[in-house]
Structure 1
Amino acid sequence: MGKSSTKMPEVNLTDLLPHQIPSVAYTIQNMWISLSAMVLAMASFFFTLWVVLPLSMTRPFFPKPKPSLPETETKKVVLIIGASQGIGFSILKQYADEPDTVIVAASRSIDSVRSMAIELGDTVAMLKCAEVDLSGTRKQISEVIKSLDKLYGPISHLYEVSGISSHVKDHGVWGLDITGEMISVNVAGTVASVLSMYDLMKGRGYGKICVVGSIAGLYSPANMISYASTKAFVNNFCTSLRILAAPTGVDVITVQPGLIDTRMTKHMRNQGSTVPGIEFGDPEGLAEQMKAAVEEGGMGIVNWPVRQGVIAYGLQAMNPICQELGGWVLMKMNVAGKRIT
């Protein structure tokens, strides 16, 4: 018998085009969706203008919110997961000069955290290094969070910054394995760490949880399929948790950064991203915004740079036909580089 070979079938895109043209019924449905978005957007605008804005203007006249620590506690304990570089390291520096503060800097590799601590040098705050691997099982992650809380706590602040993208990997083709790894860390690992900390905090009646999602979870090029999907989960999970957690005294803030100058975006640019360098925000600026939202309250979502968040939320108003077309256009423009992630 001759050796069989598998060959990818050739697809004529011209032949596929008629099948991709939306039907009349689907087009009309999308027009109704656009009308609905317009009505609700205007209602949202006027409610914010006439109700929320006047309320926000009265905020300075109210007493300052109670401190995030109960009177029985004398120190702030800040756990930062993903502290060895990028946004997490910038957050660490925001707290490094605070007295009566313990910073627990955690990462997948404790060696990388120790190297970071040596580079940082002496700090006013007490700095501790720890290992938290979000690719572990739920039980492993939960046990590590509880042990850190018992050893250094009670932990008053959690910054969950850690996440992965195949942008930073030079090998491997997008598919089931890469997608599964992102789900394991970005979704399952994030949920395990956040809910483990939340269970401890709500029992004490206080706490601050700040989790990094992404504006990619709002709208993104089609070739960011797996990364954007995991970040969409984080965005939705944490904004809902904020509502559920409010009566318990635990404040939850979702961070939806745009293009930030980090290791991931450096790889993205090396892989052909056409976004101008001026559009990449400073992680230090994002860290300042995150800390302000956590410590001062009154802000459920942090977008930075703000203009990119405004654009991303505006793009959500598009109907499904236009969203699909936009995702294709952004992919062809190589906004996120040429790789599928």
Structure 2
Amino acid sequence: MNTPEVNKRSILGLGRHVPTLSYAIQNVLMSIASMIAATLSLIFTMSIVLPLSTARVILPHSLFRRDIPGGRGKVVLIVGASRGIGFNVLKQYADEPDTVIIAASRSIDSLRKAVIELGDTRAMIQCSELDLTTSKKQLAENIRSLDKQYGPVTHLYEVSGISNHLKDGAQWGLHATEDMINVNVSGTVASVLTMYELMKERQYGKICIVGSVAGLYGPANMISYASTKSFINTFSSSLRVLAAPCGIEVVTVQPGFIDTRMTRQMRGQNSTVPGAEFASAERMAAHMKEAVEGGGIGVVSWPIRQSVMMYALKSINPICDEVGRWASMKMGMAGKKIT
């Protein structure tokens, strides 16, 4: 086949992607509606929410504190505690007296090694093997068993998440996507809802679930990972509303670029994001604990500059959304690999 014929077909194929007039008008209307909604949101936040938040700074902290029923100490279950953000959450509670930490991970040997290297702690740390890829019935039974043995659990941090970035040879496709759904969605939801039901009976609990800013907006080649994290962002934000009348507080965490094993692998696969943009996992864990213990924070997004940009990109219309995903993929933000 000659080159002119190939070029002709490429041009004709590209032409099919030019939006129709009706679709373009629809996108214009979507952008106008987004501007109106954003303006109303800004007015409401500044005129009502901001004054209430200011009053909270002035009033005694005791008005906003809620003690654990029965005067019991904290029992903190951390799912995904062997490394990265999860292990740094463990370190946040390690020196608190009258606290039990249930450190759970699929990598039990790595977890035990990390806890041993941590040295003496004021909190009591119990290591447990918990595999989110097992049957969801078995996973629920395992969590209830941990609650019965060490609990009642007062805090749940669900930090687990996987990506095929973690293995250089793992290619994207149905199998890789199934693995991410099984851990990032099904396993996370099963563990959270199991603990949620237990906490509902006690009318007390704190749940912290890690999603990602990638679930707000991301390059097209983050297709499966970003989709699973988008589910978690929506799931946990909605659960916060449903759980509030039951005395349960839910916090959604949407990390930006955090320096973890996963993002180090991504950088090794030609990500063009500057190294300075990758923030400390320890600082991320500190922000999470502050939100969980202090209350009044529904979504922890950090670094703030990255989350602000991603929330802004949520408001663009579908045409610009598509262009942006293509452009960020071509710029290599998530590396060359499809995940």
Q: TM-score range by the shorter chain?
A: over 0.9
Deviation at 1:14, TM superposition (A): 2.5
Deviant stretches of 4+, over 3 Å = 10-13
State how 1:92-171 maps to structure 2 within 5 Å: 92-171=90-169
Write the mapping of 1:203-222 to structure 2, written as runs, cut at 5 A: 203-222=201-220
- CA shift for structure 1 position 121: 1.1
Cα drift, residue 238 of structure 1: 0.3
Shift of 1:103: 0.5
1:238 maps to which of 233, 236, 239: 236
AA aligned opposite 2:134: G
**Alignment partner, residue 298 of structure 2:** 300
Which runs of no fewer than 5 residues in structure 1 stay unpaired? 1-9
Deviations 1:254-299 (A, max 9, x none): 0000000000000000000000001011111111110000000000
Aligned ranges 1:186-335 → 2 under 5 Å: 186-335=184-333
**Corresponding residue to 1:18 among 9, 15, 20:** 15
Aligned residues of 1:242 and 1:253 also touching (Cα < 8 A): yes
Match of 1:67 in 2: 66
SS of match in other structure, 2:254: strand
TM-score w.r.t. the length of structure 1 is: 0.95
- Asked if the contact 1:68–1:208 (Cα under 8 Å) also holds between the matched residues in 2, the reply is no
Q: Cα RMSD over matched residues?
A: 1.2
User: Is the contact between residue 65 and residue 294 of structure 2 (CA under 8 Å) also seen in structure 1?
Assistant: no
Looking at structure 2, the residues matched to 202 and 170 of structure 1 have their Cα atoms a distance apart, in angstroms, of: 42
String of CA shifts for 1:44-69, please: whole Å, max 9, x gaps. Answer: 00110111101111113154333341
How far off its partner does 1:13 sit? 3.3
Kept after mapping to 2: 8 A contact 1:213/1:255: yes
1:7 equivalent in structure 2: none
Cα contact 2:221–2:329 (8 A) shared by 1 = yes
Letter in 1 for 2:335: G
1:53 paired to 2:73: no
Distance between the aligned counterparts of 1:255 and 1:190, measured in 2? 13
Identity %: 60
Q: 1:6 — aligned with what?
A: none
TM normalised by structure 2 equals: 0.96
Alignment match of 2:39 (pick from 34, 38, 42)? 42
Aligned 8 A contact 1:83 1:92 in 2: yes
**Separation in 2 of the partners of 1:122 and 1:16?**
65
Unaligned runs of 5+ in 2: 1-5
Q: Does 131-140 or 53-62 show the bigger shift?
A: 53-62
* Aligned-partner residue type, residue 157 of structure 1: H
Q: Secondary structure at the match of 1:64?
A: helix
User: Residue 107 of structure 1 contacts residue 113 of structure 1 at CA under 8 Å; is this kept in 2?
Assistant: yes
Structure 1 residue 16: deviation in Å? 1.1
1:205–1:249 contact (8 Å) kept in structure 2? yes
Deviations 1:286-326 (A, max 9, x none): 11110000000000000010111110000011000000000
Residue 340 (structure 1) aligns with? 338
Residue 121 of structure 1 aligns with an amino acid whose one-letter code is G
Measure, in 2, the Cα distance between the counterparts of 1:186 and 1:128.
Answer: 24
Encode CA deviations 1:115-151: one digit per residue, 9 max, x unaligned. Answer: 1111111111001000111111110110011000000
Matches of 2:133 and 2:314, distance apart in 1? 31
